[in-house]
A and B are shown apart, each in its own frame.
Chain A
Amino acid sequence: MIFSSTILENAVNEFARLPGIGKKTALRLVLHLIKQSPAEVQQFTEAIDRMKKEIRFCSRCNNISDTEVCNICSDRSRKSETICVVESLRDVIAIESTQQYNGLYHVLGGIISPLDGIGPDQLNIDSLLRRIKEEKPEELIFALSPNIQGDTTIYYIQKKLQDKPLRITTIARGIAFGGELEYADEMTLARSISNRQPVDNYMSNNK
């Protein structure tokens, strides 16, 4: 692509760096913005600027947040007796869209996989254990990838909680989850949340 303007070229290149955006799409987006009023474009760039500068991670659950504590954690109408453990923010969004879950979350930031250099220390596991000690929830629901590494993560955390009077469950694991959770349709996901089963059961069922 040959441009008559370096400014235009820069803008197109910036857009093209985004995942899933090629040069052609980038050009279309830039041309669209050129046609808009300065105020509209400013609103757009400010939103992006603020997003990066002001966004925070909730000190309680590591969810993305505007404030010290996210709006899920600070919502008094939600049941603080259940904590749903997920890999990433995308999983929080997917589960929230089902409108079937009314407890709190804890975002691990991944799952244990020594091969990929991810040990327990790289994940928000310590903060989860601390949280459980302080908040004394009744139930911990795991919503992790239905694979070996997901299992490793569940068993590892469960092992650390053996002396706690806490129900540990996992959502039905037939469906695509973790990174693919956003593709699971809401009905299936909602059903798998209500059909959760004790981890002990899950382990012995697997045998």
Chain B
Amino acid sequence: MLLLQNITLVQFKNSLHSSFVFGERIVGICGNNGVGKTNLLDAIYYLCFTKSYFSKTDVQNVRFGSKGFRIEGNFVRNEKSEKIVCVLRENGRKECSVNDEAYIKFSAHIGRLPCVMVAPDDVEIITGGSEERRKFLDYTLSQLDPAYLQALMDYNRILQQRNYLLRTFADSPHRDMNLLDVLSQQLLEPGNRVYESRNELLEFFLPIVRELYETIAGSGERLEISYQSQLQTDSFENLLRKSRDKDILLQRTQIGIHRDDLQFTLNGENFKNIASQGQRKSLLFALKLAEFQILLKHNGFAPILLLDDVFEKLDDNRMRNLLHRICVENNGQIFITDTHCERLKETLEQLQVRHQIIELEAQ
């Protein structure tokens, strides 16, 4: 069982200083646009991942005109309390701690407090570039296996070094092929590790997504999903060796798991091209709920679910079915935001589960 009991935000995004106590498993958060609903969800997410779901740099998370921020939350995880604090100091140094013990590596925290966010812009996973889909896979896998995250970080670091070296080749007569070969060699182990983990996960993940999609979207739609990786055609080692000249010419590493993708097709057509907004949203939910289910199975307790503005753009019936599935059939903690307090209250009433409503007002 994983529950967040309270949270305190200081100078995080639009909040100056605010505290919230969460007394129920289901928490509805409502208020006008811009009051800070998404920011509150992001603060919760931050405590689980030591980073924001939305902003790329921590500077963006600091309230305009202030220096530094602090987020503190008290969780109960398997009957034990865990106080998580993340602080960005005035000098830009970041610290995160669990029960007052500071993390040396933030990556060690990932997976401890499993969490799934669903936000409106997440349809990018379906409509956007391949990096969005890899990111989705990586966040799921990192929460399941710390060694995966380590391999991925190593891979990216070596890839950066290799690409940088390739770029220096362009304007230098002396090319150190030995060094290029060493970096290629170093890529193999983490690259193969990431590939194997993605393969292993997707083998049981994709059928779950397909099944969830059918329930959400209604029957009659044939969704196919496939994992695409260059590593499916030959060993990574051979592929890298064969593309060496091309890499040098293009000054970039052309082969590797950084080119992986997921392909969705609907009734044989590219999903992105033919799907309606509703269908996209259904697929997004199928992906996120599949992640939810896998984390639940892995940990033995449900991850925290953060649903941002999910009521928009989904018809009432689908929405109610979904919420029933999430709120009633699971016992995890759920945070749901909506701009319409009445709509949110009504919906949660109808579900007949205990819940709490937090009405946010402009600060």
Contact = CB atoms under 8 A, between A and B. Distances in A.
A114 B164 contact: yes
B181 interface: yes
Given A148-B154, A148-B186, A159 B181 contact: yes
B250 to A, nearest CB: 17
Contact of A156 (B157, B158, B178): B178
Contacts of B162: 114
B179 A112 contact: yes
A183 to B, nearest CB: 12
A155 interface: yes
Interface string B74-109: 000000000000000000000000000000000000
B181 A152 contact: no
A120 interface: yes
A159 B177 CA distance: 11
A120 B176 CA distance: 9
B286 interface: no
B108 to A, nearest CB: 15
B179 A206 contact: no
Interface in A122-157: 148-149, 151-152, 155-156
A126 to B, nearest CB: 12
B178 A159 contact: yes
Given A148-B154, A155-B182, A159-B182, A114 B161 contact: yes
Contact of B185 (A112, A115, A121, A155): A155
Contact of A115 (B161, B176, B186): B161
Interface in B128-175: 154, 157-158, 160-162, 164-165, 168
Nearest to B189: A207
A179 interface: no
A115 B167 CA distance: 10
Contact of A206 (B168, B178, B189): B189
A159 to B, nearest CB: 6
Contacts, number: 44
B275 interface: no
Given A152-B183, A159-B178, A160-B178, A114 B168 contact: yes
A113 interface: yes
A121 B172 CA distance: 13
A119 interface: yes
A152 B182 contact: yes
Given A114-B168, A120-B176, A120-B179, A155 B161 contact: no
B179 A156 contact: yes
A120 B178 CA distance: 10
Which of B164, B179, B185 lies at the interface centre, i.e. has the most chain A CB atoms within 10 A of its CB?
Answer: B179
Contact of A148 (B158, B164, B185): B158
Interface in B176-201: 176, 178-179, 181-183, 185-186, 189
Interface in A96-125: 112-115, 119-121
Contacts of A112: 179
A155 B165 contact: no
19 contacts: A112-B179, A113-B161, A114-B162, A114-B164, A114-B165, A115-B164, A120-B176, A120-B178, A148-B154, A148-B157, A148-B158, A149-B161, A151-B186, A152-B182, A152-B183, A156-B179, A159-B178, A159-B181, A159-B182
Given A119-B168, A152-B182, 17 more contacts: A114-B161, A114-B162, A114-B164, A114-B165, A115-B160, A119-B176, A120-B179, A148-B154, A148-B186, A149-B161, A152-B161, A152-B186, A156-B182, A159-B181, A159-B182, A160-B178, A206-B189
Interface of B: 154, 157-158, 160-162, 164-165, 168, 176, 178-179, 181-183, 185-186, 189
Top 9 A-B pairs, shortest CB-CB distance? A114-B165, A114-B164, A155-B182, A156-B182, A115-B164, A148-B157, A114-B161, A207-B189, A115-B161
